[in-house]
Amino acid sequence: MATNILMPALSPTMTEGTLSRWLKKEGDTVKSGDLIAEIETDKATMEVEAVDEGILGRIVVPEGSEGVKVNSPIAILVEEGEAVPDAVESAPAQKAAPAPETASQTAVQSAPAQVSAAPAQPQAAPVAASHGKRVFASPLARRIAAQKGIDLAALKGSGPNGRILRRDVENAKPVEAPATVTAGGSAPAEARRVPNSSMRKVIARRLSESKQNVPHFYVSVDIELDALLALRGQLNAASPSEGEGQFKISVNDMMIKAVALALRDCPGLNVQFTEAETLHFPDIDISMAVSIPDGLITPIIRQADRKTLREISEQARDLAKRARDGKLKPEEFQGGTFSISNMGMFGVREFAAIINPPQAGILAIAAGEKRAVVRGDQLAVATVMTATLSVDHRAVDGALGAKWLNALRDIVQNPYRLVI
């Protein structure tokens, strides 16, 4: 009996996505658990598993299609020897594997859906290049080309009939836009128009909502890092120089653990505010901001206060790499009870971060630098970092924010607790 394969919801807030790539082709046998497609959301690109078994009879939505609505048919699954219908009107729809973010989240509805027949290998819409030549490219390739400033007419497509695909654009180099010149001399180059990606739109919306709806207040403190840096040097010196046991601890790894311990000491910041109640969480799950090519994502170190520095280091590196590759699972970046944003590697002296709702706080970590400090009546030189806490004033009062920052400073300046 023919069934619909529907566009899955890979997160609770997802309403549409891009079908980046089919991992099966028409006529292929599909078994439960097989990876059938890659779906691109505003956060990452994820692989979708099949639930039912059968033959992939018809691909309804081609590769590169953007704005595909959740629960809309993307393909038709048939039984062995069954004719492929133009549409499935009443057969139950196949489910994609649900994303494990929450127990109540459902990847695909099982209600029947109307399916419009579509060619398995449709031609992409032509695009007019700056010099008038018409080229054929997938929608995803067009979007990436616009973001990178690449002239599609200058590329040779590797798809059917020379169609330009995503890989063709990703392997190409951007071309600088020529400056326009007037009779009076040179003029500024015309602005290159880059369409906002789904991720950039979501970031803009969420951060605007945060600043508009969440009453932020900010508390800053200077923290001496010399003891922490000395401990880091000892730990890394004790690590094997090569082989399976090798690991290197970063300052960011140590700050994640320190923040988690401070939240254990002052659990009043490990909360979320709602209109009816304030949620206090038993686990301390630290969201760490990771910059990716078109935005920002916050993979999570779960139960960070209970992990060793080595466990945090290994997990943080793995999550950051897969975040940049777009391979995070929804449960790896959705949730979290407190956030960290570290810009120390850019030499930033001080900054304030915007709260990541529904969390109640985020810590902005700046660069450590040599500064003059007063100890008793004497001047000394120390490596000092400015840390700024942004807090939701609806859930946390100023005195508690200051108390938490003092607890963090005490842990960092006396870092023995990070290793016991």
For residues 365 and 88, what is the distance between their CA atoms, to the nearest angstrom? 55
pLDDT at 160 (0 to 100):
64
Residue 34: partners with Cβ closer than 8 Å, 6 or more residues away? 24, 49, 50
In this structure, are residues 201 and 143 in contact, taking their beta carbons and an 8 Å threshold?
A: no
Look at residue 264 and tell me whether its pLDDT is greater than 60. yes
Paired tokens of 104: 């109540």
In this structure, are residues 166 and 64 in contact, taking their beta carbons and an 8 Å threshold?
A: yes
Paired tokens of 395: 């859930």
pLDDT at 386 (0 to 100):
97
In angstroms, how far is CA 16 from the centroid of its own chain? 16
For residues 20 and 38, what is the distance between their CA atoms, to the nearest angstrom? 5
Higher pLDDT, 363 or 72: 363
Residue 81: partners with Cβ closer than 8 Å, 6 or more residues away? none
- With residue 246 as reference, give the H or E element that holds it: none
How many other C-beta atoms can be found within 10 angstroms of the C-beta atom of residue 206?
Answer: 14
pLDDT at 221 (0 to 100):
97
In this structure, are residues 58 and 27 in contact, taking their beta carbons and an 8 Å threshold?
A: no
Paired tokens of 140: 């995803």
Q: Is the pTM of this model over 0.85?
A: no
Mean pLDDT to the nearest integer, 278-285: 96
List alpha helices for 151-197, DSSP H: 166-170
For residues 253 and 248, what is the distance between their CA atoms, to the nearest angstrom? 10
Q: Which tens digits make up the pLDDT trace of 307-359?
A: 999 999 999 999 999 998 888 888 899 889 999 999 999 999 999 999 999 99
* Residue 263 pLDDT level (bands cut at 50, 70, 90): very high
pLDDT at 192 (0 to 100):
84
In this structure, are residues 175 and 154 in contact, taking their beta carbons and an 8 Å threshold?
A: yes
Flag the least confident range among 80-89, 122-131, 194-203, 245-254.
122-131
DSSP of 215-227, one letter per residue?
-EEEEEEEEE-HH
Look up 131 and say whether it is catalytic: no
Residue owning tokens 């200077």: 222
